[in-house]
Amino acid sequence: MAKNRVFITPGEPSGIGAEILVKCLHEGAGHIITRDDPDRLSRLADEMGKPVAIKVIETAEAASDLPERTLGVIPMTWPETPVPGKPSTANARSVIDSITLGAELARDGRILGLVTNPIQKSTLYSAGFKSPGHTEYLAQIDRPPSHPVMMLVSPMLRVVPLTIHIPIKDVAGAISEASIIQTATTLDTALRRDFNLQTPRIAVTGLNPHAGEDGALGTEEINIISPALEKLNAAGVMVSGPFSADTLFHEDRRQEYDAVITMYHDQALIPIKTLDFHGGVNTTLGLSYIRTSPDHGTALDLAGKFTASPASLMAAINLAFEMARNRQGRHA
């Protein structure tokens, strides 16, 4: 088994995924497998002036004996030669198949975990991709299908959006006691198992300005969020709130909790991207395996310029290994 390896998907081949992977390898990342055209990766590394050791492998298991810094590549040919900055629908199915392969390897315990490079969702929809994003797709193909929880992680903040890729006008209707309880329970389990926290402290935001101001600005905090938090505390999950989101993320308040659950996407992503734009990591909790991802997009405007920062991908790789060590330590 290649249980000391993580699988990194190629993501959108016309984006920066391959470039930042090469930079991570050149900067010392190791124990990595990917699926791509090995000749393309070699040419790219040479063009960047950052040569890396590449070995073609037919299975993930064949990587187990490779040197640490050698990239194991399960070979494939892109239907259409990737052009930087110009995604092709012809390559969409290969992108999806690579995600599926990595998820299956991780789910079956054949690798340590999955790290996903960014995808161009608009291109994938043409190949039948029905999910709003990676998070939902990976949960759908898990066995059994899982309830995914997206957590954004940096050394300064861990934050979870309760609702993710839905229009803001639909957020209030998507919030329920059940979803808050399920999300907080999944988060509590992951913080204990994968982040080695004995008694996680979870803060929860309100939906409305000033957390509803005692009902004057909305009643979701009174009718939905607070009752859910009462049930969670009674069940042994340490949660507090609902708090006004505008005062929850400054330095002093961040000492009071280990993670925050917010009510919608931007409530979570604005603070973490403001605090640590280049080092944030997206990880999916609730899956049967470890999955992390850089917290940025395909950066088509930077593709081919070789200027994209590998910091978030490097952080995602490091976090996958850290989570695996913590998980293994609990079973030792």
- Geometric angle at alpha carbon 290, from 155 and 259, rounded to 5°: 35
Q: What is the pLDDT of residue 330?
A: 63
Residue 326 tokens read as 């913590």
Q: What is the pLDDT of residue 332?
A: 44
- pLDDT, tens digit only, all 332 positions of the chain: 467 899 999 999 999 999 999 999 999 999 999 999 999 999 999 999 999 999 999 999 999 889 999 999 999 999 999 999 999 999 999 999 999 999 999 999 999 999 999 999 999 998 888 888 898 899 999 988 788 899 999 999 999 999 988 899 999 999 999 999 999 999 999 999 999 999 999 999 999 999 999 999 999 999 999 999 999 999 999 999 999 999 999 999 999 999 999 999 999 999 999 999 888 999 999 999 999 999 899 999 999 999 999 999 999 999 999 999 998 876 54
The reported pTM is: 0.92
The full set of domains in the chain, from first to last, is 1-148+283-332 (3.40.718.10), 156-275 (3.40.718.10)
Q: Which residues contact 147 (CB under 8 A, 6 or more apart)?
A: 139, 182, 186, 286
Q: Which residues contact 204 (CB under 8 A, 6 or more apart)?
A: 180, 184, 225, 229, 239, 240, 241, 242, 243, 260, 261, 262
SS (H, E, C) the chain: CEEEEEEECCCCCCCCHHHHHHHHHHCCCCCEEEEECHHHHHHHHHHHCCCCCEEECCCHHHHCCCCCCCEEEEECCCCCCCECCECCHHHHHHHHHHHHHHHHHHHCCCEEEEECCCCCHHHHHHHCCCCCCHHHHHHHHCCCCCCCEEEEEECCEEEEECCCCCCHHHHHHHCCHHHHHHHHHHHHHHHHHHHCCCCCCEEEECCCHHHHCCCCCCCHHHHHHHHHHHHHHHCCCCEEEEECHHHCCCCCHHHHCCEEEECCHHHHHHHHHHHCCCCCEEEEECCCCCEEEECCCCCCCCCCCCCCCCHHHHHHHHHHHHHHHHHHHHHC
* Spatial separation of the C-alpha atoms in residues 35 and 9, rounded to whole Å: 6
